[in-house]
Amino acid sequence: MIRRGLLLILSSPSGAGKSTLSRMLMAWDQTMRFSVSATTRPPRPGEAEGREYFFRSREAFEDMVKSGEMLEHAEVFGNLYGSPRSPVLAAMDAGRDTVFDIDWQGGQQIAQAMRDDVVSIFILPPSIAELDRRLRTRGQDSDTVIAGRMAKSRDEISHWAEYDYVLVNDDLDQTFEKLKAILTAERLRRERQPQLSAFVRALNEEFEAR
């Protein structure tokens, strides 16, 4: 029997490093699936349809919400974002873990609906000056967009205590080591190992046969 896939939720203020960390995680374990969100925000240079996001009009997005296709959705920085439901359920049934790069509103919605399957991690920047520097060096947003994101980051950070784990992303490699440690431990939780009862039964049979 295969383990039910877990839902790994990564949230942080924009620029703290969750996309970088989730990409590292996918490269480390290729059985993991990234939940590609739908959004009404326009693509950034280098973003591809269906890889970073499904880029949709507001009307198309609202239709997806109405028809129940979204596991969660929220408005962030004036745009709508949401996680399509069916690929997540399919991955869980196939025993594959799903990584979400979503904000606190989405994290709350998924945790309310599927608490036992959720592992949530909040990523903090080492300082606000460094957060600002990372947003600028990413070089993908205009000054106005960056200012808007910085203004929102205080609000996002205020939700840190709602998460199961908190990582301060100072040194990237060290943070990644901690992220892998969390995932490894969470996969080993007793309730996530449905094959254990049969395994222990077999151990007992072995006792009896001695």
Determine if 138 is a binding residue for ligand ADP (CB under 6 A): yes
Chosen from ligand ADP, ligand 5GP, none, partner binding at 16 (C-beta under 5 to 8 Å by type) = ligand ADP
Sign of the torsion angle spanned by Cα atoms 177, 178, 182, 185: positive
125-146: b or e for each residue (b if 16 or more CB lie within 10 Å)? beeeeebbebbeeeeebeeeeb
In 3D, which of 102, 82, 80 has the Cα closest to residue 7? 102
Binding mask 98-127 for ligand 5GP (x = CB under 6 A): ---xxx-xx---------------------
Question: What is the edge-to-edge ordering of all strands in the sheet holding 53-55?
Answer: 53-55, 37-39, 79-84, 70-76
Chosen from ligand 5GP, ligand ADP, none, partner binding at 15 (C-beta under 5 to 8 Å by type) = ligand ADP
Packing angle of the helix pair 172-187, 18-28 (nearest 10 deg): 60
Binding mask 36-75 for ligand 5GP (x = CB under 6 A): -x---x------------------------------x-x-
CA–CA distance, 160 with 199 (Å, rounded to integer) = 38
Using CB under 6 A, which of the segments 25-33, 79-87, 126-134, 159-167 binds ligand 5GP? 79-87
| Interface residue list for ligand 5GP (CB under 6 A) | 14, 37, 41, 72, 74, 76, 81-83, 101-103, 105-106
| Interface residue list for ligand ADP (CB under 6 A) | 12, 14-20, 134, 137-138, 169, 172, 175
